[in-house]
Structure 1
Amino acid sequence: MAAPGVEANDRVEGGDSPPDLKESFAVGPFAPTGDPDVDAVWFPPNVWPEQVPALREAVTAYCTAMTRVAGALLELCAGALGQEPSTLRDLATHPTWTFNINRYPPMTETGTPLPGQFRIGPHTDFGTVTLLEREPGAGGLQVDVEGHGWTDAPYTPGALTVNVGDLLAHWTGHRWRAGRHRVLPPQTHAPTEDLVSLVFFFELDHDAVVTPLAPPLGRTALEPVVSAPFLRERLDA
Structure 2
Amino acid sequence: MLHQVPRIDITQCSPDQLVALLAEHSCVLLENHGVDVNLREAMLNSWDEFFALPRSEKEQVEWPGDGPWYGWQPVSEKGPKGDLMERFELRLDVDKRLSDNQNWGDTFTKWPVAPVDFRQNWEKMYFRMREFAGFVMGKIAAGLGRDDWDADNWTDNQFSNLVATHYYAQPANPNRGQWRAHPHTDIGALTLLWGDSAPGGLEVAINGGKDWVPVQIPEDCWLLQAGDLLNLWSGNTIPANPHRVANPPREQAIHARRSIIFFHYPDPSVLITPPNGDQSKAVLTADHIQFRQDEDMVKANAV
**Which of 164, 179, 200 pairs up with 1:139?**
200
CA deviations on 1:53-81 (whole Å, 9 max, x unpaired) are 10101000001010011101111111112
CA deviations on 1:22-41 (whole Å, 9 max, x unpaired) are 0111110166438xxxxxxx
**Which of 73, 76, 91 pairs up with 1:2?**
73
Deviation at residue 90 of structure 1 after TM alignment: 2.9
Deviation at residue 125 of structure 1 after TM alignment: 0.5
- Give 2:114's aligned residue: 51
- Give 1:91's aligned residue: 153
Kept in 2: contact 1:171–1:212 (CA 8 A):
yes
Task: Write out the 4+ residue segments of structure 1 that deviate beyond 4 Å after TM superposition.
Answer: none
Kept in 1: contact 2:159–2:266 (CA 8 A):
yes
Cα separation, 1, equivalents of 2:128 and 2:255: 29
Amino acid at match of 2:273: T
Please tell me whether residue 200 in structure 1 is matched to residue 262 in structure 2. yes
The structure that is helix-richer by fraction is 2
Q: How does 1:58-69 map to 2 (within 5 A)?
A: 58-69=121-132
Please tell me whether residue 112 in structure 1 is matched to residue 173 in structure 2. yes
Please tell me whether residue 25 in structure 1 is matched to residue 76 in structure 2. no
Give the count of matched residue pairs. 214
CA deviations on 1:75-101 (whole Å, 9 max, x unpaired) are 1111112233x8353332422221211
Kept in 1: contact 2:94–2:159 (CA 8 A):
no
Cα separation, 1, equivalents of 2:150 and 2:225: 16
Deviation at residue 51 of structure 1 after TM alignment: 2.0
- Give 1:100's aligned residue: 163
**Which of 178, 184, 187 pairs up with 1:126?**
187
Cα separation, 1, equivalents of 2:205 and 2:174: 21
Unaligned ranges ≥5, structure 2:
1-71, 98-106, 296-303
Cα separation, 2, equivalents of 1:68 and 1:25: 21
Query: What secondary structure is seen at the aligned counterpart in 1 of 2:162?
Result: strand
Question: What percentage of residue pairs aligned between the two structures are identical?
Answer: 25
Cα separation, 1, equivalents of 2:94 and 2:273: 26
Deviation at residue 18 of structure 1 after TM alignment: 1.5
**Which of 220, 233, 237 pairs up with 2:291?**
233
Kept in 2: contact 1:212–1:222 (CA 8 A):
no
